[in-house]
Structure 1
Amino acid sequence: MKHPLSNIVAEIQKQERKLSAETSSFIDEAYQMTVYLQELLSTVKEDILKEGFSDKNEEIHFFKQVKPNILGKLIYYNKVFRIETACPADNGNLHQNYFSLQLCNLKDEYTEHVCNSDFYRYYRSGRTDRDEQYFTLGNINCYDGLNSFVFEIDTKFSTYFDYKIAKIIANELIYNYLTTKLSPEQNPDVLLQHEETKDFFWTQTKNALIELIYALYASDTLSHGKIGIRKISMVFQILFRISLNDIHNSFHRMKTRAGSRTLFLDQLKYDLEEYMDKEEKL
């Protein structure tokens, strides 16, 4: 296959890293990723329409794995761009309430259209017995009571259910994004405060934590670099019960610091070496 899943994922991650380092705001990053993914999807579509598939297995793999990963990210970045460009400018209650409402809307959509569907259960269970029906062209069945969107898709480049998987992928990404925007008080069902970790909290500055998060992300230290900066951020917010609002802008401010741009990491290195020296003297 000309566009294997591993190559597509690596290509998208490379572009995400590039724009994360170059753009001045998450709005700009989301916009440029939307344009990039739209062009990528268009290129892949041209290739598929021109070359087709070698067999059913390749076709199923494309519509179950490859296309949904591109389209899912495209839906996600486009949604984030719309959310960011419409949100209140301040970081007060109005700002937090806006993101709380977005999260509620996402949960309502999930409850109404996703979690109770037969296809969602099929996909989540990892089944493959109906893959040929769901992920090969020309099998759309109107008797299933499908969403009206099905009549607008290009039936030469969609089985309809590839779009359903893309929506699942997008919704999970949007959920992670929204939870990083909310403080623990605004989103207690996600940022749980466990009894056994109540005395475990971050005592350095928020900028220091953001510096550490970006260092772990840039070095591919976590999950071989396969998870995004905002998911890493969410994990640290949960772990330390701390709210990091716009880590992207904070990071870009770090890049223009006078003197060292890695103050916290420099201090960590100094403290560790000093501790090692003390240990040697004992």
Structure 2
Amino acid sequence: MNHSLQTIILEIHNKEDKVSSQNKRLIDEAYEMTLYLQELLFSVKEFVIKEGFKDEAEETHFFRTVKPQILGKLIYYNKVYRIETTCPVSNGKMYYSYFSAQLAHLKREYIEHICNTDFYRYYRSGRTDRDDTYFKRGHINYHDGLNSIVFEIDPTFSTFYDYKIARIIANELLYTYLLTKINPDENPDMVMQKPESTKDVFWTESKNALIELIYALYASGAISHGKIGIRKISLMFQILFRIPLGDLHHAFHRMKTRSGSKAAFLDQLKQSLEEYMDKDL
């Protein structure tokens, strides 16, 4: 498969950054990303059907990793658009009840259709021994009693299980999105309204760079012996620098699929520090 397909995830990342930098309403961002991802998925489908894969390893990689990222985010943005456009009010008890109901529905769906399946445990454990069964076309086992959506998929561009991973990705993104809606303390919009005591302190790198730093501090347990969560750490930085970071979980998923270094900003920090140290020698 040609190089352009290998850079699809980076292209999505760049598109998301471009859309978010335009300071549009969330509804408009979700709509624009839905159209973009729908067109991207269509063009990738055309390419796959026409060109195929060079070997089985490339095929399983595509259906396990590449396509679910596109489809998962498409499902996510489309759902966000639907949720936002049907929200009855902009604040208050009804607003809270609406998003709480959406979150409850998401949790029920997760329990009933996702987390208790053998495939979910397989995927979450990082196993690869059955990838040839799950992520190669033409291997759908109808004796497993699969969801009826299996009859609607295009067998030339799906193994069915790529769709299941896409749903897992979408649900994780939706979970974080809904949490920020029902918990004002973790809502970036509320962070920006808090009193400012450090007006001369502001973040001058990209949002992704700050998110990378936050995750590094969280993963290392450097703050409070690792006893506080990622959202609380991120909230501290958002308040300090007066910068809304949006969907951290979403951004972190993009980092994990970067080409080259997955921690580019931390690499840059290390290099800058060492160069600074060398100046004093």
Give the TM-score normalised by structure 1: 0.70
2:207 is matched with 218
Deviation of residue 204 (structure 1)? 8.6
Q: SS in structure 2 opposite 1:116?
A: coil
Deviation of residue 225 (structure 1)? 10
1:112 is matched with 112
CA contact under 8 A between 2:72 and 2:169: conserved in structure 1? Answer: yes
1:280 is matched with none
2:194 is matched with 206
Structure (1 or 2) with the larger CA radius of gyration: 1
Q: SS in structure 1 opposite 2:7?
A: helix
Moved more, 82-91 or 66-75: 82-91
Give the TM-score normalised by structure 2: 0.70
CA contact under 8 A between 2:136 and 2:159: conserved in structure 1? Answer: yes
How far does the alpha carbon of each residue in 1:13-42 deviate from its partner, in whole angstroms, 9 at most, with x for none? Answer: 111111112252010000000000000011
CA contact under 8 A between 2:99 and 2:181: conserved in structure 1? Answer: yes
1:16 is matched with 16
CA distance in 2, matches of 1:109, 1:178: 14
Is the alpha carbon distance of 1:208 and 1:74 closer, same or farther for their aligned partners in structure 2, counting shifts above 3 Å?
Answer: farther
2:136 is matched with 136
CA contact under 8 A between 1:216 and 1:222: conserved in structure 2? Answer: no
1:91 is matched with 91
The aligned length equals: 225
2:175 is matched with 175
1:127 is matched with 127
In the alignment, structure 1 segments of 5+ residues that lack a partner are: 186-190, 192-201, 227-231, 250-282
CA distance in 2, matches of 1:171, 1:217: 26
CA distance in 1, matches of 2:214, 2:90: 32
CA contact under 8 A between 1:176 and 1:234: conserved in structure 2? Answer: no
How far does the alpha carbon of each residue in 1:101-131 deviate from its partner, in whole angstroms, 9 at most, with x for none? Answer: 0000000000000010000000000001100
Letter in 2 for 1:90: S
Deviation of residue 183 (structure 1)? 2.0
CA contact under 8 A between 1:180 and 1:234: conserved in structure 2? Answer: no
Is the alpha carbon distance of 1:5 and 1:111 closer, same or farther for their aligned partners in structure 2, counting shifts above 3 Å?
Answer: farther
CA distance in 1, matches of 2:101, 2:113: 18
Letter in 1 for 2:194: K
CA RMSD of aligned residues (A): 3.5
Q: SS in structure 1 opposite 2:210?
A: coil
Percent of aligned pairs with the same amino acid = 55
CA contact under 8 A between 2:71 and 2:163: conserved in structure 1? Answer: yes
How far does the alpha carbon of each residue in 1:188-236 deviate from its partner, in whole angstroms, 9 at most, with x for none? Answer: xxx7xxxxxxxxxx99943859x9998665362322799xxxxx99445
Deviation of residue 75 (structure 1)? 0.2
How far does the alpha carbon of each residue in 1:220-277 deviate from its partner, in whole angstroms, 9 at most, with x for none? Answer: 2322799xxxxx994457669x9xxxx699xxxxxxxxxxxxxxxxxxxxxxxxxxxx
CA distance in 2, matches of 1:103, 1:213: 33
CA distance in 2, matches of 1:36, 1:104: 29
Is the alpha carbon distance of 1:160 and 1:30 closer, same or farther for their aligned partners in structure 2, counting shifts above 3 Å?
Answer: same
CA distance in 2, matches of 1:170, 1:219: 20
Q: SS in structure 1 opposite 2:157?
A: coil
2:45 is matched with 45
Is the alpha carbon distance of 1:133 and 1:248 closer, same or farther for their aligned partners in structure 2, counting shifts above 3 Å?
Answer: closer
CA distance in 1, matches of 2:203, 2:28: 19
